[in-house]
A and B are shown apart, each in its own frame.
Chain A
Amino acid sequence: MPVPYFDVLKGLGAEVVLTLTAVVALTLDLVSVRRAEMSVRSRTIGTTAVVGLLAAILPLWQQFNSPPTVLLGGTLVVDDLSVFFKLVIIGLAVITVLISMDYDVGRHVGEYYAVLLFGAVGMMLLISAEELITIFVALELTSISLYILTAFHKGELRSQEAAVKYFMFGAISSAFLLFGLSYVFGATGATSLRAIRDAVKLTAGLGMSPLLATGLLFTIVGFGFKVAVVPFHLWAPDAYEGAPTPVTAYIATGSKVASFFVLLKVLYVGFAGLEGSAFWGHFSSGWTMLLAVTAALSMVLGNCAAIVQHNVKRLLAYSSIAHAGYIFIGLVAATQMGATSVLFYIIVYALTNLGAFGVVAALSSRAGGDEMQNFDGMAKRAPLLSLFMLIFVLSLAGIPPLGGFFGKFYLFAAAVQRDAQHFGLLWLVILGIFMSAVSLYYYLILLKHFYVIDGADHSPIITPTYLNVALGLVALAVVALGVYPKPILELLNSFSYSVVAGWVH
Chain B
Amino acid sequence: MQVDWTIYLTFLGVGLIMLLPQESKSLIRWVALVTGVAALLVALKDYFNYNDWVNAQISAHGALQDGFTQIVNVSWIPALNVKYHLAVDGISYPLIVLNGFVCVTGILFSWNIENRVKEFFAFFLTLIAGVYGVFMAMDLFLLLVFYELAIIPKYFIIAIWGSTRKEYGAMKLVLYSFVGSALVLIGILAAYFAAGGQTFDILELAKHPIAPDVQVWVFPLIFVGFAVLAGMWPFHTWAPTGHVAAPTAASMLLAGVVMKLGSYGCFRGAMLLFPHGFEYWKWWIAWMAVIGIVYGAAVALVQKDFKFIIGYSSVSHMGFVLLGLATLNLIGMSGAILQMFSHGIVASLLFAVVGRMVYDRTHTRQLDELGGLAKVIPFACVTFVIAGAASMGMPGFSGFVAEYQIFVGAFHMHPVLALAAGLSIPLTVAYILNANDKVFMEQDPPAGDSGHGHGQEESGDSPPALPPITLPERVAAMILMALLVIVGVYPSIMLNMIKANVQLFLRGAP
Q: Does B186 contact A (CB under 8 A)?
A: yes
- Contacts A451-B156, A493-B79: A413 and B192 contacting too (C-beta < 8 A)? yes
* A437 and B189 contacting across the interface, CB-CB below 8 Å: no
* A417 and B77 contacting across the interface, CB-CB below 8 Å: no
Q: In chain B, what residue has the closest Cβ to A337?
A: B79
Residues on B with beta carbons closer than 8 Å to the beta carbon of A429: 186, 189
A42 to B206, CA, bound (A): 62
* B174 and A486 contacting across the interface, CB-CB below 8 Å: no
Per-position binary interface string of chain A over residues 434-456, scored 1 when its CB falls under 8 Å from any chain B CB and 0 otherwise? 10110011001001100110000
- Contacts A420-B197, A448-B167, A451-B156: A440 and B186 contacting too (C-beta < 8 A)? no
- 8 Å CB contacts to A: which residues of B166-182? 167, 171, 174-175, 178-179, 182
Per-position binary interface string of chain B over residues 147-165, scored 1 when its CB falls under 8 Å from any chain A CB and 0 otherwise? 0110110011001100000
Tell me how far the C-beta of B147 lies from the nearest C-beta in chain A, rounded to whole angstroms. 9
Tell me how far the C-beta of A312 lies from the nearest C-beta in chain B, rounded to whole angstroms. 19
Q: In chain B, what residue has the closest Cβ to A398?
A: B148
* A423 and B190 contacting across the interface, CB-CB below 8 Å: yes
* B119 and A399 contacting across the interface, CB-CB below 8 Å: no
Tell me how far the C-beta of B361 lies from the nearest C-beta in chain A, rounded to whole angstroms. 25
Residues on A with beta carbons closer than 8 Å to the beta carbon of B186: 426, 429-430, 433
A430 to B217, CA, bound (A): 14
A401 to B84, CA, bound (A): 13
- Contacts A448-B159, A448-B167: A437 and B182 contacting too (C-beta < 8 A)? yes
Tell me how far the C-beta of A417 lies from the nearest C-beta in chain B, rounded to whole angstroms. 6
Q: Does B425 contact A (CB under 8 A)?
A: no
Please classify the interface of chain A as helix (H, G, I), strand (E, B), loop, or mixed, using the class held by over half of its residues. helix
A420 to B211, CA, bound (A): 13
Residues on B with beta carbons closer than 8 Å to the beta carbon of A440: 174-175, 178
Indicate which residue in A405, A413, A490 contacts B80 across the interface (CB closer than 8 Å).
A413
* A416 and B189 contacting across the interface, CB-CB below 8 Å: yes
Q: In chain B, what residue has the closest Cβ to A435?
A: B182
Per-position binary interface string of chain A over residues 446-483, scored 1 when its CB falls under 8 Å from any chain B CB and 0 otherwise? 01100110000000000000000000000000000000
- Contacts A417-B197, A486-B78, A490-B79: A405 and B145 contacting too (C-beta < 8 A)? yes
Residues on B with beta carbons closer than 8 Å to the beta carbon of A447: 156
Residues on A with beta carbons closer than 8 Å to the beta carbon of B149: 399-401
Q: Does B30 contact A (CB under 8 A)?
A: no
A448 to B168, CA, bound (A): 12
Q: Does B185 contact A (CB under 8 A)?
A: yes
- 8 Å CB contacts to A: which residues of B33-80? 76-80
Residues on B with beta carbons closer than 8 Å to the beta carbon of A413: 80, 189, 192
* A434 and B80 contacting across the interface, CB-CB below 8 Å: no
Tell me how far the C-beta of A421 lies from the nearest C-beta in chain B, rounded to whole angstroms. 8
Tell me how far the C-beta of A400 lies from the nearest C-beta in chain B, rounded to whole angstroms. 4
Tell me how far the C-beta of B159 lies from the nearest C-beta in chain A, rounded to whole angstroms. 5
Residues on A with beta carbons closer than 8 Å to the beta carbon of B193: 416-417, 420, 423
Tell me how far the C-beta of B188 lies from the nearest C-beta in chain A, rounded to whole angstroms. 9
Chain B contact residues, CB within 8 Å of chain A: 76-80, 119, 141, 144-145, 148-149, 151-152, 155-156, 159-160, 167, 171, 174-175, 178-179, 182, 185-186, 189-190, 192-194, 197
Using A379-B119, A447-B156 as known contacts, list a sample of 4 further A-B pairs with CB atoms less than 8 Å apart, ordered by residue number in A: A417-B197, A426-B189, A441-B171, A448-B159
